[in-house]
Amino acid sequence: MRGKRERDRFAWAWAGMKAAVKEEAHLRFHLAAAVVVFAAGWVVGLSRWEWIVLLMAVGTVIALELVNTAIERAVDLATGEFHPLAKAAKDIAAAAVLAAAGFAVVIGILLFWPHLR
Ligand SMILES: Nc1ncnc2c1ncn2[C@@H]1O[C@H](COP(=O)(O)OP(=O)(O)OP(=O)(O)O)[C@@H](O)[C@H]1O
């Protein structure tokens, strides 16, 4: 019974992932950028620790993009009207993605720079 429940959870999470990828261009962009960065990491031969740092940076951006998408849906469900709190919720969620993406770019530069010199 517990195994089935765990399988259901995984299936629901996978359904959420598929819906977000289908509906969110920003998420598709981040996934495509991740593929390019992973290919570049493979080409330059990142070390194990460099891979760990890169995976954490990329994973954080993608996870926050998913949370941002969930917050957008929840806000849209809560109100169809213009509301300052709805704006704040969406804008702050978007800022979280932007902050993570900005740090990921800096991390990427620090990781790849020594391999490209
Ligand atoms: N109900 C609302 N009340 C006030 N401002 C809103 C509301 N809905 C959206 N906004 C403002 O409009 C902006 C864009 O909202 P939208 O729902 O189109 O999200 P988005 O960030 O463009 O997401 P998507 O990734 O779907 O394009 C929000 O960041 C927010 O500033």
Q: What CATH code is carried by the domain that includes residue 36?
A: 1.10.287.3610
Is 8 among the domain residues?
A: no
**Ligand 1 touching residue 98 (CB < 6 A):** no
65 is catalytic: yes
Q: What is the pTM of this model?
A: 0.92
Domain count, the chain: 1
SS (H, E, C) 50-79: HHHHHHHHHHHHHHHHHHHHHHHHHHHHHC
Which residues span the domain enclosing 84?
Answer: 23-116
Q: Which atom of ligand 1 is nearest to the CA of 79?
A: 1
Digit-coded pLDDT (tens) for 18-68: 999 999 999 999 999 999 999 999 999 999 999 999 999 999 999 999 999
Helix (H) or strand (E) holding 108: helix 84-116
Q: Is residue 14 part of a domain?
A: no
- What is the distance between the alpha carbons of residues 60 and 91, in angstroms, rounded to a whole number? 18
Q: What ipTM was assigned to the predicted interfaces of this complex? A: 0.91
CA 16 to chain centre: 13
